[in-house]
């Protein structure tokens, strides 16, 4: 799904009009809807700062907007082939279905992907068991890895906390 389609998806999910969204991210009222329509149709591609603003408005990770372009089955297949090459994605045929998994024995990247897929499976299971609702599940997915407690990604301190710790260490060294 191209970035324009993702913008439309999240805009509709949030119940916003193109005009409202355009104004919220800083476009003048007269052109806000036109600009957003251009991004959603793919005739314009948002730069990084606009993508970040849109993600902030939608309360999602910027990466949730800029997923690979999988608008066709052929494009999707080539994305999956790349995942096989890069991350050890493995496909197997069983009697009644086809399954994919990341084989952690295929290297560091495959191990990392396997851990991420396991975290996703845990959240999906919580949702399907009724332990979390759809909004909580979507919040986890669209902000990934922010709320993923199983990965090391969320254990990185915020820039503010990091700056505070560095300043405290500097003060301690000066004394």
Which pLDDT belongs to residue 164?
Answer: 67
CA distances from 22 to 3, 15, 166 (A): 16, 13, 39
Number of Cβ within a 10 Å radius of residue 161: 10
d(CA 32, CA 22): 4
Domain 3-64 falls under CATH 1.10.10.60: no
Which pLDDT belongs to residue 154?
Answer: 46
Helix, strand or coil for residue 99?
strand
On whether the CB atoms of residues 146 and 154 are closer than 8 A, the answer is yes
d(CA 62, CA 64): 5
Q: With a threshold of 0.85, does the pTM exceed it?
A: no
Q: How many residues does the chain have?
A: 175
With a cut of 70, which residues of the chain have pLDDT below it?
1, 69, 150-165, 169, 175
Helix segments in 14-157, DSSP class H: 18-24, 32-41, 48-58, 73-87, 108-129, 134-142
Instruction: Check the CA dihedral 68-73-77-80 and report its sign.
Output: positive
């Amino acid at each position: 799904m191209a970035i324009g389609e993702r913008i439309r998806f999240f805009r509709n999910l949030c119940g916003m009009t193109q005009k409202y969204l355009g104004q919220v991210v800083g476009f003048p009222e007269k052109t806000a809807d036109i600009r957003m329509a251009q991004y959603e149709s793919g005739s314009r591609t948002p730069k990084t700062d606009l993508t970040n603003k849109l993600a902030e408005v939608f309360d999602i990770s910027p990466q949730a907007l800029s997923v690979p372009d999988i608008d066709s089955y052929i494009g999707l297949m080539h994305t999956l082939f790349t995942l096989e090459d890069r991350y050890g994605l493995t496909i197997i045929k069983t009697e009644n279905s086809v399954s994919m998994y990341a084989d952690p024995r295929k290297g560091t990247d495959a191990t990392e992907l396997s851990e991420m897929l396991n975290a996703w499976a845990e959240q999906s299971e919580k949702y399907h068991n009724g332990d979390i609702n759809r909004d909580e599940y979507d919040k986890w997915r669209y902000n990934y890895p922010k709320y993923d407690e199983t990965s090391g990604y969320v254990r990185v301190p915020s820039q503010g906390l990091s700056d505070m710790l560095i300043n405290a260490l500097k003060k301690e060294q000066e004394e």
